[in-house]
Amino acid sequence: MLTAQGRERRALGAELRRVETDPEYAAEWRAELDEGVRQLRFERALEALVRDLADGGDPS
């Protein structure tokens, strides 16, 4: 019987094998990863701007 952690590891392993063997899937996977990183950077910059403005900072 697989535990939830075991199932997750198998799923992640299968995805890694697909990334390694399917160039089209790998390109899509990297593009999604890049978009996620850009989104995270945007959110962090926005949070910093909001904090600065809340502290009386100049938005320019």
SS3 of the chain: the string is CCCHHHHHHHHHHHHHHHHHHCHHHHHHHHHHHHHHHHHHHHHHHHHHHHHHHHCCCCCC
Low-confidence ranges of the chain (pLDDT < 70): 1, 59-60
Reported pTM: 0.65
Task: Give the Cα separation of 26 and 37 in Å (integer).
Answer: 16
Q: What is the pLDDT of residues 10-26, one digit of tens each?
A: 999 999 999 999 999 99
Task: Give the pLDDT confidence score for residue 4 in this predicted structure.
Answer: 84
